[in-house]
Amino acid sequence: MASQDWFDKDFYKILGVSKDVTPAELKKTYRTLARTYHPDSNPGDAAAEAKFKEISEAHSVLADPEQRKEYDAVRAMGGGARFTAGGAGQHGGFEDVFGGMFGNAGRGQQYTFQQSGEFDDLLGGVFGTGRFGQTSGGFRGYGGPTRGRDVTATTTIDFVTATKGDTITLQASDGRPIKVKIPAGVADGQKIKLRGKGQPSPDGGEAGDIVLTVTVRKHPVFERDGLNLRVTVPVTFAEAALGATIEVPTLGGDPVKLRVAPGTPSGRVLRVKGRGVSTAKGTGDLLVVVQVAVPSRLSKDAEAALEAFTAALPHENPRDELLAKARG
């Protein structure tokens, strides 16, 4: 920051706080103002952006105990005065300010700088800059270089990519291609942070990030259940009643054989180990939900055979227990 700014700007007034404001109160006030004037909340509003820079500058100084102490001292001694050329019989300008800083009476004191470097270094030490007129980065050179703004984005990927992972290429708003590594097992709605891929810093600082929200297309057969995959597989009444070995699909692989035990009811979940989502945190299973398929039409012979089968069964109502529980 240029030294003149410390004389000209009342950072307490800019933030609307008193000079004895506590760090906690200062932080709370700054956050409220930052949310109000942040460029993301006021797109295209040059006045809001200027106000945001102004309050950020004020907060960067007052939030640092050493800088705040230095600022208060300069303001107290300078009284808002500007540097003046001075002259014979004139007092109060340059001499009074620096006399107060270095414990001298000020008037009548002589300061001789033999080389321009000495003058630069002196002001650099007082005002926190390496050389007078040179800044340390950030808004108007104070508080370090300004970090670039973060950017939010969304992308839609297919189910297989989300499950197995892949590297995809996206196009930024400025046309540049950005490669994104999609980790295996990414979930619908999950956010991926791409460090350093956001807006560049205006003064040579760190670039912002891209926060990418992932939307996953539904699969016609499989569903995610954590690290497990879930699939519903139909079986015939005879297969469920008598038992059978059936084939079930796997994601991106060949079908596997699975044994259905005799008397398996509809809705029972069978498990195929290790055929779910594989990530660094572990590998899930394939959960097979058995669904007994009922034929929509029967031939006369089939109807007769089914009626004979029903007559041979015990005369039990499978809903008796359910009805009893419902009655309490």
**Which domains are delineated in the chain?**
3-80+112-141 (1.10.287.110), 151-216 (2.60.260.20), 223-327 (2.60.260.20)
Tokens at 40, concatenated: 């993301």
Tell me, what's the pLDDT at 138? 46
Strands (E), the chain: 151-157, 166-171, 177-182, 191-194, 210-216, 223-225, 228-236, 244-250, 253-260, 269-272, 278-279, 282-283, 286-293
Tell me, what's the pLDDT at 284? 95
Residue 164 region, left (φ>0) first, then alpha (ψ -120 to 50), else beta? alpha
Distances (CA, A) of 245 to 239, 258, 261: 8, 6, 9
Tell me, what's the pLDDT at 146? 87
Neighbour-count burial of 274, counting CB atoms closer than 10 A to its CB (0-12 exposed, 13-18 middle, 19+ buried): exposed
Residue 268 DSSP SS3: coil
Tokens at 115, concatenated: 């080389």
Q: Could you state, in chain order, the average pLDDT of each consecutive group of 10 residues for the chain (328 residues)? A: 62 91 91 86 85 88 88 68 38 41 42 37 40 42 74 92 92 83 93 90 87 94 95 95 95 94 95 94 95 91 90 86 89
Tell me, what's the pLDDT at 278? 92
Tell me, what's the pLDDT at 318? 83
CA-CA distance, 18 to 14, in Å (whole number)?
A: 10
Residues 6+ apart with CB under 8 A from 183: 165, 192, 279
